């Protein structure tokens, strides 16, 4: 049995020496950082330059002001009827948008058209609306 006691006493001696090397509650954070920095291996100059650049980037950033979240615009889903000729114009306009490398959705075209109509004066808006073919209200029949 003496061998077990000797083994346990060697463990306690090892753990005691490990405890003395570990920072105690009385050591400050600065002392711990200094000890860690001195124990760290010397990094290559390239890595040190990256760290300095990263530190410079963080130092340049001003304190961020608390962000106020923008309220999201509520989206409305709707459906409507239009003649096939007008619907074909949507495809033509989508092709034109692709010419200048701007893929466009049908809803984007409609929204852009509304914005353009909103900028017209009363006479121009009346003329644009007068040029449209009147449609019957309601859904088209299945055969049409």
**pLDDT tens by residue, the chain, 144 residues:** 555 554 444 444 444 444 444 555 566 767 766 666 665 555 555 556 666 666 665 555 555 667 777 788 888 888 888 889 999 999 999 999 999 999 999 999 999 999 999 999 999 999 999 999 888 887 778 765
23 and 35 Cβ atoms separated by less than 8 Å: yes
Q: Identify the three-state secondary structure at position 111.
A: helix
pLDDT at 62: 59
Q: Which domain holds residue 102?
A: 84-130
Q: Is residue 25 part of a domain?
A: no
Q: Is residue 71 part of a domain?
A: no
Tokens read off for 141: 């029949």
Q: Is residue 90 part of a domain?
A: yes
Q: Measured between alpha carbons, how far is 123 from 144 in angstroms, rounded to an integer?
A: 34
pTM of the model: 0.47
Q: Is residue 116 part of a domain?
A: yes
Q: Is residue 75 part of a domain?
A: no
DSSP code of residue 57:
H
pLDDT at 78: 84
C-alpha closest to that of 80 among 90, 69, 68, 70 = 90
Q: Is residue 63 part of a domain?
A: no
Total domain count, the chain: 1
pLDDT at 113: 94
Q: Measured between alpha carbons, how far is 104 from 108 in angstroms, rounded to an integer?
A: 6
């Amino acid at each position: 049995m003496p061998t077990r006691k000797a083994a346990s006493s060697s463990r306690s001696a090892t753990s005691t020496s490990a405890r003395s090397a570990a920072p105690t509650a009385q050591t400050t954070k600065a002392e711990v950082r200094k000890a860690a920095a001195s124990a760290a291996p010397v990094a290559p100059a390239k890595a040190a330059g990256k760290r300095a650049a990263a530190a410079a980037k963080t130092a340049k950033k001003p304190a961020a002001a608390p962000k106020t979240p923008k309220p999201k615009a509520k989206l409305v889903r709707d459906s409507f009827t239009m003649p096939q000729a007008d619907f074909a114009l949507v495809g033509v306009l989508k092709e034109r948008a692709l010419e200048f490398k701007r893929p466009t959705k049908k809803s984007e075209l409609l929204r852009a058209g509304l914005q353009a109509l909103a900028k017209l004066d009363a006479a121009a808006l009346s003329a644009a609306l007068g040029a449209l073919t009147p449609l019957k209200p309601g859904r088209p029949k299945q055969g049409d």
